[in-house]
Chain A
Amino acid sequence: MASSTDSAYLADEGISLGLSLGYGQLDNPVYKKDDIPLYALPRIEVFAGDFSFANTQFAWTPVWGDNYQVSLFTQLNEDGLYFAKHSAALTAIRTTGGRPSMTPPPPGSSIETQAVIKRRGDITKISKRKLSAMSGIEAIVDWQSWRFSAYWSMELTNYHKGLQGALSAQRLFLFDQHLVLLGAEIQHLSAGLVDYYYGSAQQEIRAGFSPFLGHSSQKYNLKASYQYQFNQQWQFISDIKYQRLSSGIADSPLIDDSNLLSFYAGFAWNY
C-alpha cells in the first residue's frame, strides 16, 4: 500500500525532462469552441532547494514536515485556456504540471435544474478573454495513502482581479509497477473571475448573446489516474477527469456544456 512519502510524491533534486505521445482532449465548455486536443505533452520540472518549477507552475515551499507542506505558487488559470488562440499548445504545456483536479459530485438544487434560456450569437465577435496567471498559497497534508490539500489564489495579471480556491482529497494506490490515483476536488471561483470569462455584456450582446452577469461559482471535479512503469525511462500514463460546472457558470450563454469529460492516455519517456 502506498504512503504519502512514497516515490510518487517525491522528486529528485535537479532538472527532469520528459515527453509523452498519446491521445486525449480537454473538454471545452464554451459555445462553438472546439475541444482542445492533446497529442504530445512535455514535462519540464526543476527542483532546487525549496523551489520547484513544473511546466508553467512555479512554487516555493518554505514550510514542510514529514506529512505536510505549505507552498506559495503561481500557475495559469484553466478558464483562460478555453478562449486562448493557441489553446492546444498552452494546454499541453500547462497540464502535466497541473495540480490534481478532482471533485465530488455536484449538489443538485431546484435553481440549478431550472431551464435557462440562452440566446446565442457569433462567438468570434465577443470581447477578448486573456489567459490569466494566478498566485496563491497551498497547504497539503498527507495521511497514510491519502493527500488532502487546500489552496487560495489571486490573480497576478490584473485582467479580472479574481480569486480562486479549492479543497481536494486524493488517494494513491501502488501495486508493483502500477499506480492508481483517485481524487475529488471542489473549486470556488470569485464573481470577478467568472464574469470576466463567462459574463455577457455590451460586446457579447451586440454579437447576439443574451446578457449574463457572472457571480461566484463552483467547479466539481472527479479524477482518476493510472500509470504503469515499464522501466526508469518509459511508462504508460493515463488521466481522466469529469468536471461539472455550477449554475453560476453553466447558465452563461457562452457555455454550451456544463458536464465535461477530459482524458489522456499515452506513453511517456523520462530523461
Chain B
Amino acid sequence: MMLRTKLFSLLFICSLAFVGSTFAQAGYIEATPENCVTVERDCVMDVSINWYTEVSETVCIRVTDQQIRLFCQKPNQGQNFAITVQNNRNIVLELLSEQLEPLESTEISLFHQHVKKRRRDIAWSIF
C-alpha cells in the first residue's frame, strides 16, 4: 500500500512537470513549405509564416537567410506572413519578444538535388 502511494505520487509529480512544461512552451512559429529542394546553388522561394505566443503582446520575427532580417511590431499571433527567402543552406526563422529574447524557432531545410545528365559513353571508357 505504501509503495503504491509513493508510485502514484511520483507519477502525479511527473504529470505536473509535463503539463507545466507544455504550458511554458505555449507558442510556435512555423513556415510553409518546410523544405526547399533545388538544383541550383541557392534556394529561392516564397514562404508563409504563422506564429503564436502568450509571452508578449507584440513580437519580432527574425529571418536568417543570406542576410539577417528583423520584422518587429507584429502581433502575438499572425498567419500567412509572406516573405521571399534565398540561401544556400538551411534558413532559420525565430520568434522573438520585443526585447529580442528568443521564444521559438524553426528551420526551412534545404536539399540540393543532383541532376543526372545523360552520358555519350560510360565513365572511364578508354578506347
Contacts and interface: CB of A to CB of B under 8 A. Distances in A.
B1 interface: no
A172 B125 CA distance: 12
Contacts, number: 98
A13 interface: yes
A223 interface: yes
A95 B122 contact: no
Interface residues of B, number: 15
Interface stretch (B28-36, B57-65, B84-92, B109-117): B109-117
B124 A181 contact: no
A235 interface: yes
Contacts of A18: 123-124
Given A12-B117, A13-B39, A172 B122 contact: yes
A227 B116 CA distance: 21
A195 interface: no
A71 B118 CA distance: 11
B4 interface: no
B6 interface: no
Contact of B126 (A45, A73, A96, A270): A96
B124 A13 contact: no
A78 to B, nearest CB: 9
Contacts of B125: 96, 98-100, 181, 225, 239
Interface in A1-45: 7-13, 16, 18, 20, 24, 26, 38, 41, 43, 45
Interface of A: 7-13, 16, 18, 20, 24, 26, 38, 41, 43, 45, 47, 52, 54, 57, 59, 61, 64, 69, 71, 73, 95-101, 138, 140, 149, 172, 179, 181, 223, 225, 227, 235, 237, 239, 241, 262, 264, 268, 270
